[in-house]
Amino acid sequence: MSSPTIQVGVITVSDRAAAGEYEDEGGPAVKKACEERGWEVIADSIVPDDLERIQTTIRAFAGQGCGLVLTTGGTGVDIRDVTPEAIRGIMRVEIPGFGETMRMRSLAITPNAILSRSLAAIVDTALVIALPGKPTGAVECLEFVEGAIPHSVKLALRVPTSC
pLDDT in tens, 23-32: 999 999 999 9
The structural domains of the chain, ordered by start, are 31-38+49-156 (3.40.980.10)
Q: What is the pLDDT of residue 2?
A: 47
* Paired strand residues for 8: 41, 68
Residues 6 or more apart in contact with residue 90 via CB below 8 angstroms: 55, 58, 59, 123, 124
| Interval 87-107 mean pLDDT | 97
pLDDT of 116 higher than 90: yes
HSE (side-chain half, CA atoms, 13 Å) at 121: 22
Residue, of 9 and 2, whose pLDDT is higher:
9
What is the chain's mean pLDDT, rounded? 94
| 113 pLDDT more than 80 | yes
